[in-house]
Amino acid sequence: MNKIRLKDREFTLFITSDEIEKAVAEMASRINNDMKGKTPLFLVILSGAFVFAADLLRKIKVDCDITFVRLASYSGTQSTEKIRELLGLNEVLKDRTVVVVEDIIDTGHTMDDMIHKLKNLEVAEVKIATFLLKPAALRKDLKIHYVGMEIPNDFIVGYGLDYDGFGRNLPDIYKVIPDL
Ligand code: IMP
Ligand code: MG
């Protein structure tokens, strides 16, 4: 199916699950190489990254811990600068290698906020792994180590990403058809 409807908007197929799988496998193999001899802590940013994290982490072969934080910055199809932390961090992160796992970096506010928090917790190093990146929307100076795919500045859903709560369960990624 090439077109879907979620609430009041229509979306068209953009990235297939096959393309997603390939990009995830490539990222996993880079991370496996870079993390040899380390015991990283993967910090998954909920909710959006839950599907990507499940795929990525099953391909990670080094010893690792996995933990979760829940953040929210989006309202409808717009990113806001106010990041709400809905589930906090309990682990001791001091001196750890932390790999932040995110579904998408848009303006970069969410990630920038997270990186500042992690630096205050005196981690040894932080790497950012995002499945998607919208370079044209980025407003923060972030060093992003692992990117699955770069995409244009369109609103998308599927593979964990939602439109007002809907669409997270879709195995493929769809992009919004703009209102005329
Ligand atoms: P940022 O703070 O603007 O970089 O936004 C990051 C967060 O907004 C991500 O973690 C996503 O949850 C959400 N987000 C950004 N772009 C999209 C999109 O196109 N569709 C759905 N959610 C998005
Ligand atoms: Mg997210």
Of 113, 102, 173, 116, residue with least CA distance to 144: 102
Ligand 1 centroid – CA 35 distance (Å): 27
Confidence (pLDDT) at 71? 78
**Ligand 1 pocket, residue 105 CB under 6 Å:** yes
- Whether 112 lines ligand 1, by a CB cut-off of 6 Å, is no
- Ligand 1 near 130 CB (within 6 A): no
Residues recognised as catalytic: 106
Environment class of 63 (CB within 10 Å of its CB; exposed 0-12, middle 13-18, buried 19+): exposed
* Top mutation candidate among 103, 150, 170 for ligand 1, by most atoms within 8 Å of CB: 103
- Are the C-beta atoms of residues 29 and 56 closer than 8 Å to each other? no
Reported as a single tens digit per residue, the pLDDT across 132-142 is: 999 999 999 99
CB within 8 A of 126, min separation 6: which ones?
98, 99, 100, 115, 118, 119
> Partners of 152 in the beta sheet?
none
Nearest alpha carbon, ligand 1 atom 10: 104
Tens place of pLDDT per residue across the chain (180 aa): 699 999 999 999 999 999 999 999 999 999 999 999 999 999 999 999 999 999 999 999 999 999 999 876 655 666 666 666 655 677 789 999 999 999 999 999 999 989 998 998 899 999 999 999 999 999 999 999 999 999 999 999 999 999 999 999 999 999 999 987
